[in-house]
C-alpha cells in the first residue's frame, strides 16, 4: 500500500511542478496589463444573475484600475497602499487597506509580488483547444472564494473563473488585451470628487 501511494505521489509531482513553473513564469513576466472585460455571475444552478463590463489596468506590484461601465458605474483603484471604491450613483467612496481589500482575489493574484504557492494550492487541469487551465485553491480559510481558475493561451490570459462560498460562479473574460506596455501613473491615483461621502476603515 505504501509503495502504491508513493508511486501515485511521484506520478502527480511533475504535473504539480509544471503548473507552478508555468504560472510563476507568466506572472514574473507580467508587469502591466490592460484589457476590456466582461463579467458574468451565475448561481449554483447555472442561471445568469448579473452581467457587467468595463476596462481594467494593472501594474505590478499592487496597483490596478478596475472600471465597471455597464450596467452601472463603479471605479476601483489600488494605489499601492490603499484601495478606493467609488460608487458614483451613491456619491460614496470607500477606502480600505490594500491587504484587507484584496484578500485572495484575482486582483491580488495579478498585482501582488508574492509567489502564488504562498497563498494557493495549485492544480493543473486538462487542456481544451490549446488553452491551459489552472485551478487555485486559497490556503486562507477566510478567502472570499473556494477556488479560482486561470485560462492561458501561450503568453496571453484569456479569462478567470471564480467559485464563491455560496456555489456561485463568476466568469471574467478579457479582450483587446495589451501586456507590458507603459501605463500612465494617473491611472493608479484616485482623488475623491468634491461633495462625496468618504468611508474609511476607521469608520
**Range of lowest pLDDT (20-24, 91-95, 151-155):** 20-24
Helix/strand number for the chain, H first, E second: 3, 12
The pLDDT value recorded for residue 101 is: 59
The four Cα atoms 107, 109, 113, 116 give a dihedral, to 10 degrees, of: 170
**Structural domains in the chain?**
2-199 (2.50.20.10)
pTM: 0.80
Residue recorded with cell 508555468:
22
* Nearest of 149, 147, 151, 142 to residue 163 by alpha carbon: 147
Whether pLDDT at 70 is above 70:
yes
Whether pLDDT at 1 is above 80:
no
The pLDDT value recorded for residue 2 is: 42
Across the range 148-163, mean pLDDT stands at: 86
Strands (E), 23-144: 32-42, 48-59, 63-70, 74-79, 82-87, 92-97, 120-128, 131-138
For the stretch 78-133, pLDDT in tens is 998 888 999 998 899 999 887 765 555 666 667 777 777 777 888 888 777 778 88
Strands across the sheet with 32-42, in order? 120-128, 131-138, 145-153, 156-164, 169-179, 32-42, 48-59, 63-70, 74-79, 82-87, 92-97, 197-199
State the first-to-last Cα distance of the chain, in angstroms, to the nearest integer.
58
* Nearest of 157, 160, 147, 144 to residue 121 by alpha carbon: 147
For the stretch 37-59, pLDDT in tens is 999 999 999 999 999 999 999 99
The pLDDT value recorded for residue 8 is: 40
Amino acid at each position: 500500500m505504501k509503495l502504491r501511494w508513493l508511486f501515485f505521489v511521484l506520478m502527480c509531482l511533475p504535473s504539480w511542478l509544471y503548473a507552478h513553473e508555468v504560472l510563476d513564469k507568466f506572472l514574473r513576466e507580467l508587469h502591466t496589463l490592460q484589457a476590456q472585460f466582461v463579467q458574468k455571475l451565475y448561481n449554483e444552478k447555472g442561471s445568469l444573475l448579473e452581467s457587467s463590463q468595463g476596462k481594467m489596468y494593472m501594474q505590478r506590484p499592487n496597483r490596478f484600475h478596475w472600471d465597471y461601465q455597464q450596467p452601472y458605474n463603479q471605479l476601483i483603484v489600488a494605489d499601492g497602499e490603499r484601495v478606493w471604491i467609488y460608487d458614483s450613483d451613491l456619491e460614496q467612496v470607500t477606502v480600505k487597506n490594500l491587504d484587507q481589500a484584496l484578500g485572495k482575489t484575482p486582483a491580488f493574484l495579478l498585482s501582488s509580488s508574492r509567489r502564488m504557492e504562498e497563498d494557493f494550492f495549485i492544480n493543473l487541469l486538462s487542456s481544451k483547444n490549446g488553452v491551459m487551465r489552472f485551478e487555485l485553491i486559497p490556503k486562507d480559510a477566510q478567502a472570499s472564494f473556494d477556488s479560482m481558475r486561470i485560462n492561458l493561451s501561450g503568453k496571453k490570459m484569456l479569462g478567470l473563473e471564480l467559485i464563491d462560498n455560496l456555489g456561485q460562479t463568476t466568469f471574467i473574460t478579457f479582450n483587446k488585451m495589451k501586456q507590458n506596455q507603459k501605463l500612465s501613473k494617473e491611472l493608479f491615483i484616485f482623488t475623491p470628487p468634491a461633495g462625496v461621502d468618504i468611508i474609511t476603515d476607521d469608520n
